[in-house]
Amino acid sequence: MSAPEKGRRRSAAGSPGFLRRSQPRHGEKVIKVLLVAASLVSVATTIGIVIALIPPSMEFFRHVSFGEFISGTEWSPLFKPPHFGVLPLVGGTLMVTLIALLVAVPLGLGAAVYLSEYADPRLRSVFKPVLEVLAGIPTVVYGFFALKAITPLLKDIWPAGDGPQVFNALAAGFVMGVMIIPTIASLAEDSMSAVPHGLRDGAYALGSSRMQVSTRVVFPAALSGIVAAIVLGISRAVGETMIVAIAAGGRPNLSFNPLEGMQTMTAFIAAAGIGDLPTGSIGYQTIFAVGALLFVMTLVMNLLSIRLVRKYREVYE
């Protein structure tokens, strides 16, 4: 067989500039521009959110002092005379979030430890899809279940007094907690799985039990990821809308009684948004003022969570 002739499609080696581009590749440049443009959409989204929030919020604070907004205890923007104290909405949000965390943190972390340290592959293949399905159920369905099933159930089993009202923070918070379990479980499990096996083997070799390895070796080593999971869970609870709009009620109520109905920031935004308020009205502006507060609160938590996740990735990967 004869050797194929060398370089039949290109200029001879040694001729001046033979290593230069033989044909222009404009396509490559066009593609790159397209890719960068697509990446800028997500940047534009953030800018769009900020632009959407700031001007109407500024307009709002021309009518209402920031001090009144942030420390007022009465929220009735559409009544006469209107009151613009956001504390009842913040209080409602915190109450529901707290209940959700009381459910989601122990259960989510328990699930994560089980999946990461105890479950054999067969059990994992049962439980993982259950968590994925839980994460995939629309929140409007959770809200429906809280209102129509959990609240009546609580009323039935309540030992003393009247029990929860028709709309209440307890049922909404409990159901929201279950909704957040997959978020916390999967992020926490990720960080536990990232703990090097050498650490576990070392502890087992010293005669530790599985519980000791889980709680004294893996858990502390994965701590920053676990905290990140919890912070992300809080962020999701604070930002969740449909469950509270359906099951926690639409009345701003600064109260520490979880059996009462109370409106959260998100539920207020939804309720006001449904009304199709005219642009420029003070009612319309409240949507953006409360939205800005919500955005800032979740932004701080998200950035904290992202930082913590990076930290454990840097250590172990």
Write out the binding residues for other proteins, residues 253-292 only, by CB under 8 A: 266, 269-270, 273-274, 276, 279, 287-288, 291
Report the residue from 60, 69, 145, 219 that binds other proteins according to the rule CB under 8 A: 145
Give the 3-state secondary structure of residue 98. helix
Contacts (CB under 8 A) with other proteins, residues 84-103: none
At how many degrees (to 10) do helices 223-239 and 169-193 cross? Answer: 150
Contacts (CB under 8 A) with other proteins, residues 157-216: 178, 181-182, 209-211, 214-215
Distance CA 181, CA 111 (A): 8
Sign of dihedral through CA atoms 106, 107, 112, 118?
A: positive
Q: Which residue, 290, 307, 253, 249, is CA-closest to 61?
A: 290
Report, in Å, the least distance between residue 237 CB and other proteins.
10
Stretch that binds other proteins, among 66-74, 82-90, 114-122, 195-203 (CB under 8 A): 114-122
Is residue 48 involved in binding other proteins (CB under 8 A)? yes
Q: Which residue, 164, 188, 191, 194, is CA-closest to 257?
A: 164
Report, in Å, the least distance between residue 253 CB and other proteins.
19
Is residue 121 involved in binding other proteins (CB under 8 A)? no
Q: Mark 225-244 with x for binding to other proteins (rule: CB under 8 A) and - for no binding.
A: -------x--xx-xxxxx--
> CA dist 165 to 153, 243, 249, Å?
12, 16, 10
Strands 75-76 and 83-84: antiparallel
Number of residues that bind other proteins (CB under 8 A): 107
Return the amino acid letter for 17.
G
Report, in Å, the least distance between residue 22 CB and other proteins.
6
Shorter beta-carbon distance to other proteins: residue 95 or 242: 242
Tell me the DSSP string of 3-50.
PPPTTTTSPPTTSTTTTS-SS--HHHHHHHHHHHHHHHHHHHHHHHHH
Tokens of 72: 């007022």
Report the residue from 87, 98, 134, 259 that binds other proteins according to the rule CB under 8 A: 134
Shorter beta-carbon distance to other proteins: residue 63 or 71: 63
Shorter beta-carbon distance to other proteins: residue 84 or 268: 268
Ramachandran category for residue 279: left, alpha or beta (phi over 0 → left; psi -120 to 50 → alpha): beta
Report, in Å, the least distance between residue 245 CB and other proteins.
8
What are 76's strand-pairing partners? 83
Ramachandran category for residue 163: left, alpha or beta (phi over 0 → left; psi -120 to 50 → alpha): left
Distance CA 168, CA 52 (A): 32
Report the residue from 58, 78, 102, 137 that binds other proteins according to the rule CB under 8 A: 137
Shorter beta-carbon distance to other proteins: residue 186 or 253: 186
Is residue 51 involved in binding other proteins (CB under 8 A)? yes
Is residue 78 involved in binding other proteins (CB under 8 A)? no
Report the residue from 58, 102, 130, 216 that binds other proteins according to the rule CB under 8 A: 130
E-only strand ranges, 73-218: 75-76, 83-84
Is residue 56 involved in binding other proteins (CB under 8 A)? yes
Report the residue from 67, 81, 121, 136 that binds other proteins according to the rule CB under 8 A: 136
